[in-house]
Structure 1
Amino acid sequence: MSEKQPYVTIDIQNEVGYIEFFHPAHNSLPGDVLAKLAQTITDAGTNDAIKVVVLKSGGDRTFCAGASFEELININDAATGKVFFSGFANVINAMRKCPKFIIGRIQGKTVGGGVGLAAATDYCMASKFAAIKLSELNIGIGPFVVGPAIERKMGLSAMSQIAIDANTFYPAEWAKQKGLFTQVYENTEELDGAVKTTAEHLCTYNIEAMLEMKKVFWQGTDHWDALLAERAATSGKLVLSDFTKEKLKTYK
């Protein structure tokens, strides 16, 4: 697969569906890639050839740099803003509703929406290069859409810490201590070996038992369709502020 063009692919091996996304801008995801990712996750949930899903990204050192900056700069009205910020909401909801366990494979740094994707997996494995950051406050918005997923996995204390400290990358080991990552590996090769072993072992379990466990894990989140839409609207309004418009100019 060329690493110059954005893509979302799914590769089924030994009953594991490996969903991979890529964008040349540090895996920052525009709306069309997010929409395809959400649909691919939904389709994997109904594909009888797949028992377990792995979510991964292309490239070496960045899992996901969040939402597309190019699209963010071009938002000029609240409705467009809501649609833009709904991109990650739709992926998180697709992951939440997927009837199969989703394993996260986080090989490198992850920012903003990417932290939300990691938090929405059911079992998340990382390399030591997988530092995390919530940078939204820097540009006058906040991690509103991804906040519920991060808070659910790491707790309000950890989520609020990284949301307020918006300039700092927190190391993978810290994220493990806070419950985001299950294990942290020395390099990508070790990570990939462990992901493969874990996913294929899960395929030997009763798929109905895993479905019932997934329901338990996500109990109390049935309102997230509405909640994340509200959060997207909040971000969509804030991105129109003079503060954010001026901040974005400095990044152009």
Structure 2
Amino acid sequence: MAEMIRVDVDGRGVATLWLARADKHNALSAQMLGELEQAAQDIAADDAVRVVVLAAEGKTFCAGGDLAWMRDQFEMDAATRRVESARIATALGALYALPQPLIGRVQGNAFGGGVGLASVCDVTIGADHVTMGLTETKLGLIPANIGPYVVARMGAVNAAQVFMNARLFKADEAVRLGLLSRVVPAGDLDAGVEAEVAPYLACAPGAVREAKALLRALSGGISPAQVDHAIDALAARWESAEARAGIAAFFDKRAAPWA
């Protein structure tokens, strides 16, 4: 039974996939990513589910990768570490592959892997107070496993503004960059999500799924080669002295040597 993910399905066939690790700001651990991937696969196979909402409990949508889990990866050999770190790419891939429309409900801040989660949604509604950012390079890492989905969502020109510099940005800029579809006051978030969900329920469910598949095909989608390249890039970065220094500095609560 899942401990860090919850799925609620209402009578209309709307499934809400909840990140349920609020005490850890929904940071993505190995267990959580496994549960997320399994939940996405189960939903994909359920013909009764017509629309999926990706949501999060607590104040933070997702703080990114669990840093304790990431630190543990330094003790692994390179091959094992590659498999372990690829869990994020695998979970995002399962969400991206959902045949049903996926609506993101971003109620709080999203960093790193949280930006990746927002990127795999077809439409993403955010509260107007949220802050987002691809913060990996501050730690000596790179936004690799989430990279194919972030670039597909934002486009290379927009992504270049925030992909390498770890700069934080607010909700309005996230709309301009193409990461969020629109923002609403926090009190209107559920109504904003419902406004995106409701039109699908007036459409033929099979036609909606086939239209999404066609859109993926026409846009080029994301290839396995792109995902593998990103995983390899992160695996190589894990071997660097910068990555070790950056993670160590974070846990020691001191500035990284390049700061």
TM-score (norm. length: structure 2): 0.88
Instruction: Give the match's secondary structure for 1:132.
Output: strand
Q: For the residues of structure 2 that align with 1:107 and 1:117, how far apart are their CA atoms?
A: 13
Q: CA deviation at 1:184?
A: 0.2
Q: Which residue of 1 aligns with 2:6?
A: 9
Are residues 1:119 and 2:116 paired? no
Q: For the residues of structure 1 that align with 2:3 and 2:47, how far apart are their CA atoms?
A: 27
Q: CA deviation at 1:196?
A: 2.5
- Please give the residue correspondences for 1:49-64 in structure 2 after superposition, counting only pairs within 5 Å: 49-60=48-59, 62-64=60-62
Q: Report the AA paired with residue 180 of structure 1.
A: L
Instruction: Give the match's secondary structure for 1:141.
Output: coil
Q: For the residues of structure 2 that align with 1:184 and 1:135, how far apart are their CA atoms?
A: 22
Q: For the residues of structure 2 that align with 1:56 and 1:203, how far apart are their CA atoms?
A: 19
Q: Which residue of 1 aligns with 2:138?
A: 138
Q: Report the AA paired with residue 213 of structure 2.
A: K
Residues 72-123 of structure 1 show CA distances to partners (whole Å, capped at 9, x for unaligned) of 1111322232123212211221122211000000111111111111011011
Unaligned runs of 5+ residues in structure 1 are none
Residues 107-148 of structure 1 show CA distances to partners (whole Å, capped at 9, x for unaligned) of 111111111110110111110122210011112221111111
Q: CA deviation at 1:201?
A: 3.2
Aligned residues: 244
Q: For residues 190 and 207 of structure 1, do their structure 2 counterparts lie closer, same or farther at Cα, with a shift above 3 Å needed?
A: same
Q: CA deviation at 1:42?
A: 1.4
Q: For the residues of structure 2 that align with 1:115 and 1:69, how far apart are their CA atoms?
A: 16
Corresponding residue to 1:206 among 204, 210, 219? 204
Q: Which residue of 1 aligns with 2:64?
A: 66
- Please give the residue correspondences for 1:72-221 in structure 2 after superposition, counting only pairs within 5 Å: 72-75=70-73, 76=75, 77-166=77-166, 168-187=167-186, 189-219=187-217, 220-221=220-221
Q: For the residues of structure 1 that align with 2:64 and 2:83, how far apart are their CA atoms?
A: 15
**Once the two structures are aligned, what percentage of the paired residues are identical?**
27
Q: Report the AA paired with residue 233 of structure 1.
A: D
Q: Report the AA paired with residue 109 of structure 2.
A: K
Give the structure, 1 or 2, with the largest relative contact order (CA under 8 Å, sep 6 or more): 1
Q: CA deviation at 1:204?
A: 2.0
Residues 51-76 of structure 1 show CA distances to partners (whole Å, capped at 9, x for unaligned) of 0000011102x111111100111113
Q: For the residues of structure 2 that align with 1:150 and 1:222, how far apart are their CA atoms?
A: 11
Q: For the residues of structure 2 that align with 1:26 and 1:50, how far apart are their CA atoms?
A: 28
**106-115 or 70-79: bigger deviation:** 70-79
Q: For the residues of structure 2 that align with 1:87 and 1:156, how far apart are their CA atoms?
A: 24
Instruction: Give the match's secondary structure for 1:244.
Output: helix
Q: CA deviation at 1:6?
A: 5.4
Q: Report the AA paired with residue 105 of structure 2.
A: R
Q: For the residues of structure 1 that align with 2:245 and 2:52, how far apart are their CA atoms?
A: 41
Q: Which residue of 1 aligns with 2:255?
A: none
Q: Is the 8 A contact 1:78 1:233 kept in 2?
A: no
Unaligned runs of 5+ residues in structure 2 are 252-259
Q: For the residues of structure 1 that align with 2:161 and 2:17, how far apart are their CA atoms?
A: 30
Q: Is the 8 A contact 2:140 2:247 kept in 1?
A: no
Superposition RMSD on alpha carbons, in Å?
1.7
Q: Is the 8 A contact 1:84 1:236 kept in 2?
A: no
Corresponding residue to 2:17 among 15, 19, 35? 19
TM-score (norm. length: structure 1): 0.91
